[in-house]
C-alpha cells in the first residue's frame, strides 16, 4: 500500500469536500476543483479527514491509491492557497507582456510569440519575471512548461527561459589555440 494513502488528508476550515461514486469535488475560499474517480479507488470522509482506499484488490487499484491521494491533497491545498510558478527570462532583447488573455513574448525570433492563457490561471509579467498563479497545480505546471519550451535556456550564455531556482549547467566555450 502507498505511504501517501496511509496518511489522512486533513480538511481545513472553510473547505467542503463532496464525494460521489464518479468524482471528488473540493470547494474552498479561492474556488472549486473537481476530479473524476476510477472505480478501483474509494474516498471516505471521517471526522474531518479524507481517507483514500482501495475498492478492488487489483494491481491497478494498488497503483492508483497513492496517485489519487496526492491529487486530492493538491486540490485541498489549491483551493486554500494558490500555486505559483515563476519563469525568469534572460537575454538581450527578450521581453514579456500580458495583453488581455494573451502572453506576448519577444524571444529573439523575427515575430512576437503569442500564447493564450488558460482559464483559471493569472499571469503577471514584470521586467524579466513571468509569474503564473492558479488553484489547479496541474494547470499551473503544464502552462509553465509550455511557456518555457518556447525558448529553453542554452548552456553557453544562459540565455532563454528558466524556472526560478533552476540551475543551468554552463559549458565552456571554444578554446583558442
pLDDT at 45 over 90: yes
Domains of the chain: 3-80 (3.90.930.12), 83-163 (3.90.930.12)
pLDDT tens digits, residue range 62-96?
Answer: 889 999 999 999 999 999 999 999 999 998 989 99
Position 1 scores a pLDDT of: 66
pTM score: 0.90
pLDDT tens digits, residue range 101-134?
Answer: 999 999 999 999 999 999 999 999 998 999 999 9
Position 57 scores a pLDDT of: 86
Please state, rounded to an integer, the average pLDDT across all residues of the chain: 92
- Residue 102, CA distances (Å) to 30, 47, 86, 115, 137 in order: 23, 44, 17, 6, 20
- Compute the residue count for the chain: 177
Amino acid at each position: 500500500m502507498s505511504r501517501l494513502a496511509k496518511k489522512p488528508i486533513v480538511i481545513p476550515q472553510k473547505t467542503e469536500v463532496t464525494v460521489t461514486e464518479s468524482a471528488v469535488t473540493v470547494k474552498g475560499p479561492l474556488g472549486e476543483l473537481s476530479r473524476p474517480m476510477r472505480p478501483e479507488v474509494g474516498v471516505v470522509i471521517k471526522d474531518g479527514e479524507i481517507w483514500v482506499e482501495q475498492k478492488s484488490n487489483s494491481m491497478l487499484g494498488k497503483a492508483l491509491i497513492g496517485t489519487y491521494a496526492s491529487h486530492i491533497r493538491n486540490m485541498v491545498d489549491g483551493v486554500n492557497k494558490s500555486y505559483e510558478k515563476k519563469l525568469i527570462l534572460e537575454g538581450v532583447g527578450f521581453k514579456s507582456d500580458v495583453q488581455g488573455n494573451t502572453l506576448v513574448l519577444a524571444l529573439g525570433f523575427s515575430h512576437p510569440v503569442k500564447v493564450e492563457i488558460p482559464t483559471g490561471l493569472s499571469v503577471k509579467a514584470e521586467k524579466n519575471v513571468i509569474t503564473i498563479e492558479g488553484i489547479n497545480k496541474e494547470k499551473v505546471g503544464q502552462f509553465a512548461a509550455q511557456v518555457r519550451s518556447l525558448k529553453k535556456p542554452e548552456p553557453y550564455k544562459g540565455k532563454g527561459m528558466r524556472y526560478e531556482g533552476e540551475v543551468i549547467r554552463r559549458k565552456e566555450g571554444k578554446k583558442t589555440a
